[in-house]
C-alpha cells in the first residue's frame, strides 16, 4: 500500500496527465514516482529495524504488566526481585529440552546458543541494574495496568533499575546504558 507521500505524487501525476496515460521510462514524472517509492522503502526499512530493536523491551514490560495484574498496592523491592528472577528464568525449560534432545558430543543448536547468550546478557544487566517499570509507585502501577502495549505509550511511565543487591535507581525512557 502506498504511503501518504507516494499517493500524493501519484495523484498529482494522474491529475496532470490523465487516468490511462503511459509514462515515458525516463520522464520527470517517472523519476518522481521512483524517488517517492524509494523514500517509502527507506522509511519502512528503518521502522522495521526500530521495531526489532524495541521488541525485547516491549516483551519485558508486557510480562511485568501481566505479573502485576493481581497486585493492587505498590510492590516492595524483594517482590520486584522475585518477578525479575521469574522473568529471567522464562527460557529455562526450553533450554533444558534443547539440551536433552541434543545427542552427546554434538554442538549446541543455534537456538540454544542464542538463548544462553540472551540469558547471560540479562544476568549481567541484573547484576548492574535491571531496567523495569517502577512498581513501588502506586500511580505508575495504575498506568502500567492501563498500558495498551504500544511503544508510544511508554514515556508516561516511570522506570527504575533494580540490581541483584536490592539497590534501586531511577532510570530514563528509553533505556540507554545504565541510565
- Which segments of the chain have a pLDDT < 50? none
- Return the percent helix, strand and coil in the chain, to nearest 5: 60, 5, 30
Boundaries of every domain in the chain? 4-171
What CATH number has the domain spanning 4-171?
1.20.1440.170
**pLDDT value for 26:** 82
Q: Give residue-wise pLDDT tens across range 150-168.
A: 888 888 899 999 999 988 8
Copy the grid coordinates of residue 146: 492501563
Residues near 86 by Cβ (< 8 Å), separated by ≥ 6? 67
Nearest CA-CA partner of 24 in 15, 11, 13, 36: 13
Q: Give residue-wise pLDDT tens across range 60-92.
A: 999 999 988 888 888 899 999 999 999 999 999
**pLDDT value for 72:** 81
DSSP-derived letter for residue 24 is: P
DSSP-derived letter for residue 18 is: -
Nearest CA-CA partner of 171 in 138, 125, 139: 125
**pLDDT value for 123:** 92
**pLDDT value for 16:** 73
Round to whole Å and give the CA distance between 9 and 31: 11
How many helices (H) and strands (E) the chain has is answered by 6, 3
Amino acid at each position: 500500500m502506498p504511503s501518504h507521500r507516494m499517493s500524493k505524487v501519484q495523484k498529482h501525476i494522474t491529475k496532470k496527465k490523465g487516468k490511462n496515460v503511459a509514462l515515458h521510462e525516463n520522464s520527470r514524472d517517472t523519476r518522481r514516482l521512483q524517488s517517492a517509492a524509494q523514500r517509502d522503502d527507506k522509511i519502512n526499512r528503518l521502522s522495521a529495524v526500530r521495531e526489532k530493536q524495541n521488541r525485547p523491551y516491549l516483551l519485558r514490560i508486557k510480562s511485568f504488566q501481566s505479573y502485576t495484574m493481581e497486585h493492587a498496592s505498590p510492590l516492595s523491592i524483594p517482590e520486584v526481585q522475585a518477578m525479575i528472577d521469574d522473568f529471567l528464568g522464562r527460557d529455562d525449560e526450553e533450554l533444558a529440552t534443547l539440551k536433552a534432545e541434543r545427542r552427546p558430543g554434538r554442538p549446541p543448536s543455534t537456538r540454544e546458543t542464542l538463548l544462553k547468550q540472551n540469558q547471560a546478557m540479562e544476568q549481567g544487566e541484573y547484576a548492574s541494574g535491571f531496567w523495569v517499570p517502577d512498581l513501588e509507585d502506586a500511580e505508575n502501577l495504575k498506568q502500567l495496568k492501563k498500558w495498551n502495549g504500544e511503544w508510544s505509550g511508554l514515556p508516561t511511565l516511570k522506570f527504575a533499575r533494580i540490581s541483584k543487591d536490592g539497590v534501586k535507581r531511577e532510570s530514563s525512557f528509553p533505556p540507554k546504558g545504565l541510565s
